[in-house]
Chains A and B, each alone.
Chain A
Amino acid sequence: MIDRSAPPLLEVRNLKQHFPVRRGAFGKVVGQVRAVDGISFDLWRGETLGLVGESGCGKSTTARTVLRLLEATAGMVWFDGEDVRAMGDERLRAFRRRAQFVFQDPFGSLNPRLSVGAMLEEVLHVHDLAKKNRRGRVVELLELVGLRPEHLDRYPHEFSGGQRQRLGIARALAVEPDFLVLDEPVSALDVSVQAQVVNLLDDLQQELGLTYLFIAHDLALVEHVSDRVAVMYLGQIVEVADARDIYDEPRHPYTRALLSAVPRPDPVNRDSRERIVLEGDVPSPVNPPTGCSFHPRCPHFGKDAQCKSEAPVLESTRQGHFAACHHQGTVVEIRG
């Protein structure tokens, strides 16, 4: 069980990641891409936090910044009580042993010239682990992710997509982490195989007590795997709540639109379902709209003066449910 009275494993406060836009021969900075623009969240031990949003909303950048694969522009990241942004080389190395990353494209992130055994042994070697019996530990890892010892001498191209993703997970687990960032871990897989990998991740979490930051664009999947869900739009979290809550009672108009846009395998109710089709595209993070960044596409309050001028902050209307909308009370009424 997740103990929310204990201090969180990961605390993120007002995190920002801005990338300069350069132009001209001398690379003059002419603007900033506000990929992540002031986000805060907590993650408790054993919990899965789902991070959803459309492409370009900053979910992957958030994850990379949290793990310090990118240096943050501003904000704080605390992992198990330690300031991640202030870590020196040695502490950072220790941190990276505890916090691992699983990527979307398992083929692009595995070295094609290393056999599976060599790849996993290298990880152990780098982190100086299992010195006595590296082979044995490698076999153990393969079995942990549902592969067989005879896969040891094979190369990545000999595996199917699902098996490659299992390898990606085995590599992440080699250093015995507490925390895994899963960046679209099953998006590249077929549905039947997707379910296998999702179940594996679930089992591993139970067995090893892992904490997950699960990034995906598939809302149904995120709801399935997460305890809590954070919805991102243009570099900001617009709503965060328990997974059930966010699907049953979405407060933010964007969350509602996103949920209604998910195609459901339910032809019986397809004509009676509420459907909100948003107009236009996501605005550019170089030049985000004033006020609420969602107002130009908002089906309800796009014309409201307050929405145009004043940026809403995350506010809680009930226990553990936060939304950044000036009209979050009203939205529920409209829904009736």
Chain B
Amino acid sequence: MRESLLTVQDLRTYFFTDQGVAKAVDGVSFEVNEGETLGIVGESGCGKTVTSLSVLGLLPEPPARIMDGSSVRFLGDELVGADEARMRNLRGNEISMIFQEPMSSLNPVYSVGDQIAEVLRVHRRIGRKEARHEAVRLLDEVGIPAPDRRVDEYPHQLSGGMRQRVMIAMALSCEPKLLIADEPTTALDVTIQAQILELLEELSVNHGMAVLLITHDLGVVAEVCDRVVVMYAGQVIETGTVLEIFTEPTHPYTRGLLDSLPSVTDSGRRLNSISGTVPNPVHWPQGCRFRERCPEAGDGCEEEQVLVALETTGRSSRCFKTVPVNLTGAG
């Protein structure tokens, strides 16, 4: 089989704090194939953002530490333990990232054109004039009206949606093969969110760019993703195609999440909620980490659960009650 674009295997990122060791990411495996959009979905504190930051080596060590045995391979190259020069070259060039709050990722004292041009001059080593020209073209590509005027504006002069477009233009500037988007639309209004999601979809098709979308919003996942990884308490608890996850969820947590969504089309008077709250990463529960909140918990749940591959390719679940066809542990 061909190697995936990005392969994460048994990633464990721990934080060494005064309160103890927080196992924020605790044995996460998944892969992103070329050109696909993979969604990582989960509630706050499930480790989805730490996973993405670990991929790019963006976490400060200490307190964070990527533990031995973790592996992140990009086109076959191991990134865990790679030197800073290699990582610098990779970031922006081959893998780009956009964040939730574009205002805090943009420098307030430089015009957006200067900031995009800087990326181009560093990574592509092109001249000042050419870089500016390219910046205007990129702003145009991400749908900013009057790009030749906007290029000289400062971040505070732009609306939230426009700022996110600028971030995307910057991320695209080196034609990356993978874009990591961490809650890219969470801070935006729905109509603007729809614009940005449409833009991301369009760009990923036009450039053959894979997208790793990190979000808490199941609606967003359903709209744009091809495959989905559901995380809970630092682990992957279910994977599958977007259709499989939404139409035949196997893990009780995934089912609980879907049931707790109010829906526009069907307004049953009562929402099914999941009782309790997300556990503390310093003391993950023993056995199945969802056990205390699980409506189906029973005998066997006190055992540590492994991610088991299900009959369909690419499907897996971390609940022993979902009957696996072959018992090969997938991570």
- Report A's interface with B, CB cutoff 8 A: 54-55, 160, 162-163, 190-196, 198-199, 202, 217-221, 223-225, 243-244, 247, 257-268, 270, 275, 277-282
Task: Name the distance in Å between A158's Cβ and chain B's nearest Cβ.
Answer: 12
Residue of A191, A195, A258, A268 contacting most chain B CB atoms (<10 Å): A191
A258: which of B145, B191, B222, B274 is its contact (CB, 8 Å)? B191
Q: Closest residue of chain B to A162, judged by CB?
A: B277
Interface string of B132-164 (1 = CB under 8 A from A): 000000000000010000000000000101100
Determine if B270 is an interface residue (Cβ-Cβ < 8 Å): yes
Interface string of B169-206 (1 = CB under 8 A from A): 00000000000000000000111111101100000000
B223: which of A190, A192, A224, A263 is its contact (CB, 8 Å)? A263
Contact assessment for A192 and B43 in the assembled complex, using a CB-CB cutoff below 8 Å: yes
Task: Name the distance in Å between B77's Cβ and chain A's nearest Cβ.
Answer: 33
Given A192-B260, A195-B271, check contact A264 B223 (CB 8 Å): yes
10 contacts between A and B (CB under 8 A): A192-B273, A219-B264, A221-B262, A264-B219, A267-B246, A267-B247, A268-B247, A270-B222, A277-B195, A281-B159
Q: A163 CA to B257 CA in the complex, in Å?
A: 19
Contact assessment for B257 and A278 in the assembled complex, using a CB-CB cutoff below 8 Å: no
CB-based closest 5 A-B pairs: A263-B219, A195-B273, A224-B262, A195-B260, A54-B189
Given A199-B273, A220-B261, check contact A261 B222 (CB 8 Å): no
Contact assessment for B189 and A263 in the assembled complex, using a CB-CB cutoff below 8 Å: no
Determine if B278 is an interface residue (Cβ-Cβ < 8 Å): yes
Per the 8 Å Cβ criterion, residues 212-256 of B in contact with A are 216-223, 242-243, 246-247, 256
A261: which of B190, B271, B277 is its contact (CB, 8 Å)? B190
Q: A192 CA to B278 CA in the complex, in Å?
A: 9
Chain A contacts of B326 at CB under 8 A? none
Q: A160 CA to B45 CA in the complex, in Å?
A: 12
Determine if B263 is an interface residue (Cβ-Cβ < 8 Å): yes
Determine if B322 is an interface residue (Cβ-Cβ < 8 Å): no
Given A268-B247, A281-B161, check contact A160 B195 (CB 8 Å): no
With A199-B273, A261-B193 already in contact, 5 other A-B pairs whose C-beta atoms are closer than 8 Å: A192-B256, A195-B260, A202-B269, A266-B265, A281-B162
Q: Closest residue of chain A to B192, judged by CB?
A: A281
Contact assessment for B275 and A196 in the assembled complex, using a CB-CB cutoff below 8 Å: yes
Given A262-B219, A263-B193, A266-B222, check contact A199 B262 (CB 8 Å): no
Q: A224 CA to B269 CA in the complex, in Å?
A: 7
Contact assessment for B270 and A202 in the assembled complex, using a CB-CB cutoff below 8 Å: yes
Q: A263 CA to B194 CA in the complex, in Å?
A: 8
B222: which of A160, A196, A265, A282 is its contact (CB, 8 Å)? A265
Instruction: Count A-B contacts at CB 8 Å.
Output: 134
Chain B contacts of A261 at CB under 8 A? 190-191, 193-194
Q: Closest residue of chain A to B190, judged by CB?
A: A261
Q: A280 CA to B159 CA in the complex, in Å?
A: 10
Contact assessment for B258 and A265 in the assembled complex, using a CB-CB cutoff below 8 Å: yes
Q: Closest residue of chain B to A53, judged by CB?
A: B189
Chain A contacts of B194 at CB under 8 A? 260-261, 263, 275, 277-278
Task: Name the distance in Å between B156's Cβ and chain A's nearest Cβ.
Answer: 14
Determine if B44 is an interface residue (Cβ-Cβ < 8 Å): yes
Task: Name the distance in Å between A212's Cβ and chain B's nearest Cβ.
Answer: 15
Determine if B89 is an interface residue (Cβ-Cβ < 8 Å): no
Chain B contacts of A270 at CB under 8 A? 222-223
Contact assessment for B267 and A223 in the assembled complex, using a CB-CB cutoff below 8 Å: yes
Contact assessment for A224 and B191 in the assembled complex, using a CB-CB cutoff below 8 Å: no
B190: which of A163, A217, A247 is its contact (CB, 8 Å)? A217
Q: A225 CA to B271 CA in the complex, in Å?
A: 10
Chain B contacts of A268 at CB under 8 A? 243, 246-247
A55: which of B189, B198, B247, B273 is its contact (CB, 8 Å)? B189
Determine if B107 is an interface residue (Cβ-Cβ < 8 Å): no
Determine if B17 is an interface residue (Cβ-Cβ < 8 Å): no
Contact assessment for A224 and B257 in the assembled complex, using a CB-CB cutoff below 8 Å: no
Task: Name the distance in Å between A131's Cβ and chain B's nearest Cβ.
Answer: 36
Q: A275 CA to B194 CA in the complex, in Å?
A: 9
Q: Closest residue of chain B to A226, judged by CB?
A: B267
Contact assessment for A193 and B264 in the assembled complex, using a CB-CB cutoff below 8 Å: no
Q: Closest residue of chain B to A275, judged by CB?
A: B194
Q: A277 CA to B277 CA in the complex, in Å?
A: 36
Q: Closest residue of chain A to B161, judged by CB?
A: A281
Contact assessment for A190 and B263 in the assembled complex, using a CB-CB cutoff below 8 Å: no
Given A195-B274, A265-B219, A268-B247, check contact A190 B264 (CB 8 Å): no
Contact assessment for B189 and A262 in the assembled complex, using a CB-CB cutoff below 8 Å: no
Task: Name the distance in Å between B157's Cβ and chain A's nearest Cβ.
Answer: 12
A191: which of B222, B223, B261, B269 is its contact (CB, 8 Å)? B261
Determine if B272 is an interface residue (Cβ-Cβ < 8 Å): yes
Task: Name the distance in Å between A231's Cβ and chain B's nearest Cβ.
Answer: 12
Contact assessment for B274 and A263 in the assembled complex, using a CB-CB cutoff below 8 Å: no
Q: A177 CA to B85 CA in the complex, in Å?
A: 63
Contact assessment for A265 and B246 in the assembled complex, using a CB-CB cutoff below 8 Å: yes
Contact assessment for A190 and B43 in the assembled complex, using a CB-CB cutoff below 8 Å: yes
A267: which of B44, B162, B222 is its contact (CB, 8 Å)? B222
